[in-house]
Amino acid sequence: MLEAIKYNNRKLEVLDQLKLPHSCTYQGVTNVTQTWEVIRSMKVRGAPAIANVAVLGVAVELNEKDFNSKEQLYEVVKEQLEYLQTSRPTAINLRNAANRIISLLSVQLQDNKLSVNDMKESDFSFRIIKEAEDIFRECKMKNLAIGEHGASHIINHLSTGSQATILTHCNTGSLATAGYGTALGVIRSLHLRGMLAHVYCTETRPYNQGARLTAFELMHDKIPSTLICDSMVAALMKSKEVSAVVVGADRVVANGDTANKIGTYQIAVCAKYHKIPFYVALPVSTVDLSLRDGGAIPIEERPSVEMTYIQGVPLAPTDMNCWNPAFDVTPAELITGGIITERGVFKVQELEKKISTDKEDGIWY
């Protein structure tokens, strides 16, 4: 399996996904400024992956620094995490991961038994680094659980004796996460159980994550698959047997409305029209209960040049006016299959209750 993020002995490297599928090049990341840059430029992308890279970026910079007080540590790390959250606005995982680190910092700060003199021994920095590493390790385990829950749910809804044909969008695999993948994790689990007939993946214009990354991962792992253009989804649903659509998510809010890669909403509309179940697969850290509905999710708009050029080749008149939202919001009513998480598959209506029950102290990454 491909790795988007390599982290060993407090050394961080990210796969430069802009160069895929032409070359597999890893770039070392040694500080927070570089971390912001690799996220912003989309060398690393995918809601879970950018959260992992962000906290690991803080960890590798912390590893090289000394602090005079726990207050100083708190201020520096908090500022770094706030800065990293400005890299891309739509995904919530980064904020949730940041909040988990900040919460630990606060606990340390408020613990009067820990004084400046304890600094050297207790090594507050080490605890933060350890927490970032835990986030990364847990992310991999959650992906496995998402894959297993999703595969079981889909298999239970297949007619007897048939295998699943899945349509997915964008990239939600090992390149988008810390490991197995979310939607692509579900596909991997189906494949490993011998229950996958075929996968269709969309190109995912304008950044072509499907064509460049998902196609690359599927071929790499020898999963039977076919690439289609984003415009072919309805035709595919009409002319081939599609068992289910499974996509990832950048933010799911309290009522189940889901922000994900531009084009997701359209696929959900088509799935509804063709009566095909539509699933969203995500770690619980993608859920944002602070927003009631999808209208409040900030949607990043990216530059025209991403549409008018591809790898330096002009595709359109270069001064053509473009609208380039990076995400859209799929209303809960269209998520007919369910929400696949590491804790199980929920109906959208159940999501808030299930998550709230489990949530402790506002931190559940």
Catalytic residue chosen out of the listed positions 111, 221, 250, 293: 250
Interface with its own copies includes 339 (CB under 8 A)?
no
250 catalytically annotated:
yes
Which window, 31-39, 105-113, 121-129, 319-327, contacts its own copies (CB under 8 A)? 319-327
Interface with its own copies includes 18 (CB under 8 A)?
no
Structure tokens at 340: 């696949």
- Closest alpha carbon to 365 in 63, 81, 41: 81
Task: Phi first, then psi: give them for residue 296, nearest 5 degrees.
Answer: -90, -5
Min CB(167)–its own copies separation in Å: 11
Report the C-alpha gap between 186 and 147 in whole angstroms: 4
Min CB(316)–its own copies separation in Å: 4
Interface with its own copies includes 336 (CB under 8 A)?
no
Report the C-alpha gap between 196 and 113 in whole angstroms: 56
Structure tokens at 63: 């590893």
Of 232, 289, 296, 363, the one binding its own copies by CB under 8 A:
232
Please, which residue, 116 or 315, has the CB nearer to its own copies?
315
Of 34, 108, 122, 266, the one binding its own copies by CB under 8 A:
266
Which window, 79-87, 112-120, 189-197, 267-275, contacts its own copies (CB under 8 A)? 267-275
Which long-range contacts link 75-83 to residues 24+ away (Cβ below 8 Å)?
Answer: 77/101, 77/102, 77/105, 77/128, 78/102, 78/105, 80/32, 81/54, 81/55, 83/32, 83/36
- Closest alpha carbon to 12 in 94, 133, 95, 102: 133
Interface with its own copies includes 219 (CB under 8 A)?
yes
Min CB(52)–its own copies separation in Å: 25
The CA angle 221-224-227, to the nearest 5 degrees, is 100
Q: Are 262 and 300 in contact (CB under 8 A)?
A: no
Which window, 83-91, 103-111, 152-160, 311-319, contacts its own copies (CB under 8 A)? 311-319
Binding site for its own copies (CB under 8 A): 21-22, 200, 202-206, 208, 211-212, 215-216, 219, 225-236, 238-239, 262-263, 265-266, 269-270, 272-273, 307-308, 310-317, 319-325, 328
Mind telling me the catalytic residues? 250
